[in-house]
Amino acid sequence: LNQLANDFPGCIYWKNAEGVYLGCSQYYKLMIKFNAFEEVMGKIDSELWGEEHATAITKNDKEVMETGKPHTFY
């Protein structure tokens, strides 16, 4: 899955139902300015983005899980 995500030119990540990061693409890791995947894995949005942004991201994630429809941001 990691290799597949790295083949796409975009920010790809996946989390468990509790919002803990399980993986991400190389592009996503670089976008959030981390050097190693281990710096992202096991974290939650508030640890990466701060509380204000984490609230919006968590709301979006919950909606995606409830509806099954992905969201794309440009």
What are the pLDDT digits (tens) for 12-59? 888 999 999 998 888 888 888 888 888 889 999 999 888 989 999 899
Q: How high is the pLDDT of residue 20?
A: 96
Contact call for residues 50 and 35 (beta carbons, < 8 A): no
Q: Does 74 score more than 80 pLDDT? A: no
CA distance 68 to 51: 25
- Output 3 or 14, whichever has higher pLDDT: 14
Q: How high is the pLDDT of residue 2?
A: 67
CA distance 27 to 25: 5
Q: How confident is the model at residue 1 (pLDDT cuts 50, 70, 90)?
A: low
Q: How high is the pLDDT of residue 25?
A: 85
